[in-house]
C-alpha cells in the first residue's frame, strides 16, 4: 500500500466510483410523454417494479409513470403527486425527496406507494435526469 494512503481513502474512492456509475441507465426511464418509448424501453412498465406492474392496465401504468415524472420534475421535497382515484382498483402516490447532483446530472430521491386490489405496495429509490428530460431510476 502507498505510504500515507490510508484504508479510509480507499473506501472514499470506492464510494465515489459507485456514486458516479450509479446514474447509468440500468432499469428504465420516466418520461413526460405518456406511453413514450425511449431507447426501446416502454416508459410505463418501468414505473412499478416486478410483478405488480403486470397487475396494472396500460392506463394505470401511464398514470403511475406520469405521477413519477411530475413529482421528480416539478414538485418540492415532500409535495406528493397522486395517481388513480381513491377507492379504485389501483391508485398510488409519488413523493419526491431531496435533490442532489452526481457529476453533471440532477438526481432525486423519491418514494412511490400504491394499492392494487386493496394490497399496499411501495418502493423507495433515486432517479437521475437525462439530457432529453426523462428520468432514469437507479437500481
Give 17-65 pLDDT, tens digit per residue.
343 334 443 344 555 444 443 222 234 345 566 667 778 888 998 999 9
Enter the pTM of the model: 0.68
- The model's confidence at residue 82, banded by pLDDT at 50, 70 and 90, is very high
Q: Residue 126 and residue 99: Cα distance in Å, rounded?
A: 9
Q: Which residue is associated with the grid cell 474512492? A: 13
Q: Residue 133 and residue 60: Cα distance in Å, rounded?
A: 22
Q: Give the model's pLDDT for residue 23.
A: 41
Task: Give the best-scoring range by mean pLDDT among 20-29, 71-80, 113-122.
Answer: 71-80
pLDDT averaged over the chain? 74
Q: Give the model's pLDDT for residue 55.
A: 82
Average pLDDT over residues 107-133: 93
More confident residue, 135 or 14: 135
* C-alpha radius of gyration, the chain, whole number: 17
Sequence-separated contacts (24+) of 105-110 with Cβ below 8 Å: 105/23, 105/129, 105/130, 107/23, 107/138, 108/72, 108/135, 110/68, 110/71, 110/72
Backbone dihedral angles phi then psi of residue 19, each to the nearest 5 degrees? -65, -45
Amino acid at each position: 500500500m502507498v505510504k500515507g494512503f490510508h484504508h479510509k481513502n480507499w473506501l472514499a474512492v470506492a464510494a465515489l466510483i459507485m456514486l458516479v456509475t450509479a446514474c447509468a441507465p440500468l432499469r428504465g426511464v420516466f418520461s413526460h410523454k405518456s406511453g413514450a418509448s425511449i431507447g426501446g424501453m416502454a416508459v410505463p412498465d418501468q414505473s412499478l417494479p416486478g410483478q405488480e406492474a403486470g397487475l396494472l392496465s396500460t392506463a394505470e401504468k401511464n398514470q403511475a409513470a406520469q405521477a413519477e415524472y411530475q413529482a421528480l420534475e416539478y414538485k418540492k421535497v415532500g409535495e406528493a403527486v397522486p395517481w388513480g382515484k381513491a377507492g379504485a382498483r389501483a391508485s398510488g402516490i409519488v413523493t419526491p425527496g431531496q435533490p442532489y447532483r452526481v457529476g453533471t446530472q440532477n438526481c432525486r430521491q423519491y418514494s412511490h406507494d400504491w394499492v392494487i386490489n386493496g394490497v399496499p405496495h411501495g418502493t423507495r429509490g433515486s432517479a437521475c435526469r437525462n439530457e432529453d428530460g426523462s428520468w432514469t431510476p437507479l437500481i
